[in-house]
């Protein structure tokens, strides 16, 4: 709900309230963002304005902007904090003073050429620069049910001369004096989303200058009071609906207020007379229930307002991806074989990853030449897809359309289509195509149309495997080179908009060497993202935990891969790899045909189990439960609370282990639940030479006798069977079966290997 009385603006969602007003002189003063207050008047307690400024500046209304909570900070009028907008006027002057002009309530308003959240109720507040005909429009959209408020900004140049835009941020949030922490998610390839919590003193920032949102620092961030934790405390969260360079700033000012801003990175944009310029949209939420509260606002928001179209609320297929199975060694026969074994284990989609197009023998060739390699696939994609479909399984394909290899037909024909000079720092042997040029975008679109129109392809993995470096574009004059990075993203969005509209039922999965472009912008076009190239279960436990703060598991591609793992060479139990991948969109990235019959059977059983609970795993409400150091318990609960699943990942087994209860979250207090766990096979050979303590004959590790004994002698898996109320599971917790700890094994013991997990299920007891 948006209230607009007497130039006071109150934006309310179910649980939150946000308020600002105009001062007598027309400056937008921020009043409040927090728990929804009972009465409208409650929002109007105006913070005191400083009248003894020391050596700070006063404006012509005697306002000290340096010590004023505001909605749109500018430069040159005494506010020394990071501004929302930073301009250079035709005379070179930079002081900008935007004052309230009027407000409107537009039906539909979205930044031009950029993706934005669907729905909501919008307020547009128009400010005018006092000495120039330059207008700043601030857009606020309220998503009442999910407790999210979105913001973006538009600049309009109504003067007769060019104005330069250095910065146009999407949102600014000024918080009152207090003691806060900044929480950001940083990383690199294969180690995405490492949560970093820093005390907020001075200036901090979270940003990417990689040309894409990047895994170096995700645009999602939170600011919280110092005592906030998972379940308690005030937390404000921000994210950006954008996939390019981004900049988030968090700053404790000289007067101890805290300013947060977020938007695209700094630019050098030439705003011509009569032209307008839009920032991307940003979103924010507030919760007084800790980080968990933030996640449970952001998850449904992403599911309902960011992800859209055919796949918005649809269960996603279980897939087998060829990458870690065969890498570049693609052949028609091998792919059909892979599809056959994928079908046998119960997968629904076979994805042919890299290596299928003309001349693609390794990663130094052929990007840009999007036709099937006749040597590898003599019948082309159409006949391959047909054969795969005939096995009763869908066919999907990997592409990397934004890229070009020097060693390609495309490069030989259009060497000038690359972004940057030929002599540049290069990533994965490839150049980036100059998507600021319409003819290049057209080429990409037509290549993709030909692929999708030419064969029965139900899924596309859209990859992007290098960051941007030198982004010089010969298509633009020197004075406009500062616009190229943003124009690249606009070009990309233009392609994605057309393509996804033309092929609405194709399931697109965004990928950038895993999570190098995991953001709300891409999610507006592609309903899921390959979360990380790292498929090691132990690493995934941390990576997926990191993503879960800002993104629901229904957008996370998670695969079971072979052991030893190809990124870490670590061996983790198959059941643990499954449990981890089940907490997202399950896939297998291995060749099932190469596994033992026993392992294939176990995988078949995993997939059947996942399918039986798929809605819960993919769309259940996610809870991060209290977890001991190094361990992680994540739960998903159906919206009506009748069913829940949880994965407890325990990193290292300990001898003589301490018995710790596990505390649940999300179960309904009054409901009574029956708790069971997925049974994990126990193998005699897992005990090594220790079996000789019990065995009547000596069994050597690795011997034939051991093999036979392992098949004949079945050891009991640990099983939990407990009934209690939701309140009891959450408050008193439950005790997992005692792990083997060096002194005997019996039915009351569970075998927990290193990096093992247990998958638990709670079902409501109904008499």
Q: Which tokens belong to 729?
A: 């599971």
Q: Which is nearer to ligand GLA, 100 or 530 (CB)?
A: 530
Instruction: Figure out which of the listed residues 66, 97, 354, 562 binds ligand GLA, where binding follows CB under 6 A.
Output: 354
Nearest to residue 435, comparing CAs of 170, 211, 166? 211
Q: How many residues bind ligand GLA (CB under 6 A)?
A: 11
Whose Cβ is closer to ligand GLA: residue 561's or residue 606's?
Answer: 561
CB of residue 513 to ligand GLA, shortest distance in Å? 4
- Closer of 153 and 465 to ligand GLA (Cβ): 465
User: What is the C-alpha to C-alpha distance for residues 420 and 473, in angstroms, rounded to an integer?
Assistant: 6
Distance, in Å, from the CA atom of 526 to the CA atom of 534, rounded to the nearest integer, reads 21
Give yes or no for a contact between 136 and 127, defined as CB atoms under 8 angstroms apart: yes
Q: What distance in Å separates the CA atoms of residue 206 and residue 216, rounded to the nearest whole number?
A: 9
Q: Is 646 left (phi over 0), alpha (psi -120 to 50) or beta?
A: beta
Binding mask 423-452 for ligand GLA (x = CB under 6 A): ------------------------------
Which one of residues 206, 398, 443, 493 is an interface residue with ligand GLA (CB under 6 A)? Answer: 398
> In the bound complex, what is the minimum distance in angstroms from residue 417's beta carbon to ligand GLA?
21
Binding mask 187-226 for ligand GLA (x = CB under 6 A): ----------------------------------------
Shortest CB 415 distance to ligand GLA, Å: 23
Q: Which is nearer to ligand GLA, 139 or 323 (CB)?
A: 323
Please enumerate, as own/partner, the contacts of 373-376 that have beta carbons within 8 Å and a separation of 24 or more.
373/330, 376/330, 376/331, 376/332
Query: Exposure pattern of 523-555 as b/e (b: 16+ CB <10 Å)?
Result: bbbbbbbbbbbbbbbbbbbbbbbbbbbbbbbbb
- Which one of 67, 234, 434, 463 is the catalytic residue? 463
Tokens read off for 230: 């998972």
Asked if 562 touches ligand GLA (CB under 6 A), the answer is no
Q: Which two tokens stand for residue 615?
A: 């809605």
For residue 703 the two structure tokens come to 């011997």
CB of 514 to ligand GLA, least distance (A): 5
CB of 353 to ligand GLA, least distance (A): 5
Interface with ligand GLA in residues 294-323 (CB under 6 A): 323
| Neighbour-count burial of 700, counting CB atoms closer than 10 A to its CB (0-12 exposed, 13-18 middle, 19+ buried) | exposed
Q: Which residues pair with 109 in a beta bridge?
A: none
465 interacts with ligand GLA by CB under 6 A: yes
Nearer to ligand GLA, 511 or 699 (CB): 511
Of the residues 463, 562, 706, 756, which one makes contact with ligand GLA according to CB under 6 A: 463
- Which residues have C-beta within 8 Å of that of residue 520, sequence separation ≥ 6? 115, 117, 219, 239, 240, 241, 242, 283, 302, 306
- Catalytic residue check, 533: yes
Question: What gap in Å lies between CA 439 and CA 452, rounded to an integer?
Answer: 20
Angle at 40 between CA 39 and CA 42, to 5 degrees: 70
Which residue bears the tokens 């307008």? 276
Q: Count Cβ atoms within 10 A of the Cβ of residue 668 and give its class: 0-12 exposed, 13-18 middle, 19 or more buried.
A: middle
Q: How far apart are CB 502 and ligand GLA at their closest, in Å?
A: 24
For the chain, the straight-line distance linking the first and the last C-alpha, in angstroms and rounded, comes to: 42
Catalytic residue among 174, 519, 533, 718: 533
Q: Give whichever of 22 and 465 is closer to ligand GLA, judged by the CB atom.
A: 465
Contact between 408 and ligand GLA per CB under 6 A: no
In b/e form, how buried is each residue of 261-299, taking b as 16+ CB within 10 angstroms?
bbbbbbbebbbeeeeebbbbbbbbbbbebbbbbbbbbbb
Residues 6+ apart with CB under 8 A from 448: 370, 399, 401, 460, 495, 499
**CB closer to ligand GLA out of 144 and 463:** 463
Of 250 and 352, the one with the shorter C-beta distance to ligand GLA is: 352
- Identify which of residues 206 and 323 has a Cβ nearer to ligand GLA in the complex: 323
Contact 258, 200 (CB under 8 A): yes
CA distance 83 to 96: 10
Contact criterion met (CB below 8 Å) for 224 and 291: yes
Q: Specify the residue, 511 or 633, whose C-beta has the smaller distance to ligand GLA.
A: 511
Cα 225–Cα 231–Cα 237 angle in degrees, nearest 5 = 50
Contact present, 123 and 4 (Cβ < 8 Å): yes
Using the minimum distance from each CB to ligand GLA, give the nearer residue, 139 or 459: 459
Residues 491-530 that bind ligand GLA (CB under 6 A): 511, 513-514, 530
Angle, CA of 72, 75 and 81, to the nearest 5°: 70
Q: Which residue lies nearer to ligand GLA by CB, 473 or 513?
A: 513
Nearest distance from C-beta of residue 373 to ligand GLA, angstroms: 15
Min separation Cβ 327 and ligand GLA, Å: 8
Query: For the residues of 590-639, what is the DSSP string, one character each?
Result: S-GGGS-HHHHHHHHHHHHHHHHTHHHHHHSEEEEEP--TTEEEEEEE-T
Residue in the block written with tokens 């999407």: 170
For the bound state, the minimum distance from the C-beta of residue 433 to ligand GLA, rounded and expressed in Å, comes to: 17
User: Smallest distance, Å, CB 735 to ligand GLA?
Assistant: 39
What residue is closest to ligand GLA based on CB?
Answer: 354
Catalytic residues: 463, 533
Interface contacts to ligand GLA, rule CB under 6 A: 323, 353-354, 398, 463, 465, 511, 513-514, 530, 533
């Amino acid at each position: 709900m948006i209230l607009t009385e007497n130039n006071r603006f109150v934006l309310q969602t179910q649980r939150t309230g946000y308020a600002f007003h105009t001062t007598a002189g027309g400056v937008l003063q921020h009043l409040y963002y927090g728990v929804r207050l009972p009465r409208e008047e409650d929002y109007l307690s105006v913070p005191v304005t400083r009248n003894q400024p020391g050596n700070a500046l006063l404006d012509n209304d005697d306002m000290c902007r340096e010590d004023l909570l505001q909605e749109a900070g500018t430069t040159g009028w005494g506010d020394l904090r990071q501004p929302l907008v930073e301009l250079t006027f035709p005379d070179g002057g930079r002081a900008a003073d935007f004052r309230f002009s009027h407000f409107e309530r537009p039906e539909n308003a979205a930044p031009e050429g950029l993706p934005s959240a669907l729905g909501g109720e919008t307020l547009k507040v128009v400010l005018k620069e006092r000495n120039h005909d330059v207008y700043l429009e601030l857009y606020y959209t309220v998503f009442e049910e999910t407790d999210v408020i979105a913001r973006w900004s538009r600049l309009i140049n109504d003067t007769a001369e060019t104005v330069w835009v250095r910065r146009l941020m999407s949102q600014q949030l000024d918080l009152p004096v207090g003691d806060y922490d900044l929480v950001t998610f940083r990383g690199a390839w294969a180690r995405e989303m490492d949560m970093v919590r820093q005390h907020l003193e001075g200036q901090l920032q979270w940003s990417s200058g990689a040309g894409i949102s990047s895994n170096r620092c995700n645009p999602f961030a939170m600011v919280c009071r110092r005592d906030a934790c998972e379940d308690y405390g005030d937390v404000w969260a921000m994210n950006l609906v954008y996939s390019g360079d981004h900049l988030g700033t968090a700053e404790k000012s000289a007067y101890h207020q805290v300013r947060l801003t977020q938007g695209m990175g700094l630019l050098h944009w030439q705003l011509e007379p009569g032209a307008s310029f839009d920032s991307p949209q940003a979103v924010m939420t507030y919760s007084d229930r800790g980080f968990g509260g933030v996640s449970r606002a952001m998850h449904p928001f992403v599911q309902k307002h960011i992800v859209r179209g055919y796949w918005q609320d649809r269960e996603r297929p279980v897939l087998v991806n060829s990458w870690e199975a065969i890498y570049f060694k693609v052949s028609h026969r091998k792919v059909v074989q892979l599809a056959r074994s994928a079908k046998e284990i119960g997968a629904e989609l076979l994805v042919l990853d890299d290596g299928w197009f003309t001349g693609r023998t390794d990663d130094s060739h052929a990007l840009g030449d999007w036709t099937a390699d006749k040597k590898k696939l003599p019948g082309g994609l159409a006949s391959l897809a047909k054969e795969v479909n005939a096995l009763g399984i869908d066919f999907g394909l990997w592409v990397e359309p934004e890229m070009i290899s020097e060693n390609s037909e495309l490069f030989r024909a259009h060497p000038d289509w690359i972004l940057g000079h030929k002599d540049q720092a290069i990533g994965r042997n490839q150049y980036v195509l100059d998507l600021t040029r319409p003819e290049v975008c057209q080429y990409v679109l037509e290549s993709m149309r030909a692929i999708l129109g030419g064969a029965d392809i139900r899924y596309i993995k859209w990859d992007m495997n290098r960051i941007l470096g030198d982004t010089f574009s010969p298509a633009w004059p020197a004075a406009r080179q500062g616009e190229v990075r943003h124009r690249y993203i606009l070009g990309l969005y233009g392609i994605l908009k057309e393509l996804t509209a033309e092929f609405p039922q194709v399931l697109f999965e965004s990928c950038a060497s895993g999570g190098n472009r995991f953001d709300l912008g891409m999610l507006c076009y592609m309903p899921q993202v390959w979360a990380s190239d790292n498929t090691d279960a132990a690493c995934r436990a941390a990576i997926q935990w990191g993503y879960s703060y800002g993104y629901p598991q229904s957008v996370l591609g998670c695969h079971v891969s072979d052991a030893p793992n190809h990124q870490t060479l670590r061996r983790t139990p198959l059941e643990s790899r499954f449990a981890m991948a089940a907490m997202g969109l399950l896939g297998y990235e291995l060749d099932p045909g190469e596994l033992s019959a026993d392992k294939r059977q176990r995988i078949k059983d995993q997939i059947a189990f996942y399918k039986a609970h798929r809605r819960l795993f993919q769309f259940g409400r996610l809870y991060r439960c209290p977890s001991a150091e190094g361990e992680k318990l994540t739960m998903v609960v159906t919206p009506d609370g009748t069913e829940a699943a949880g994965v407890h990942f325990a990193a290292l087994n300990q001898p003589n282990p301490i018995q710790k209860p596990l505390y649940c979250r999300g179960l309904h207090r009054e409901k009574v639940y029956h708790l069971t766990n997925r049974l994990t096979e126990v193998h005699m050979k897992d005990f090594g030479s220790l079996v000789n303590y019990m065995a009547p004959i000596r069994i050597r590790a690795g011997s034939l006798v051991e093999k036979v004994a392992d098949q004949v002698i079945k050891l009991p898996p640990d099983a939990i069977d407990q009934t209690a109320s939701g309140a009891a599971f959450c408050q008193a917790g439950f005790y997992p079966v005692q792990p083997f700890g060096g002194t005997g094994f019996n039915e009351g013991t569970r075998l927990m290997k290193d990096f093992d997990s247990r998958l638990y299920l709670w079902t409501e007891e109904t008499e």
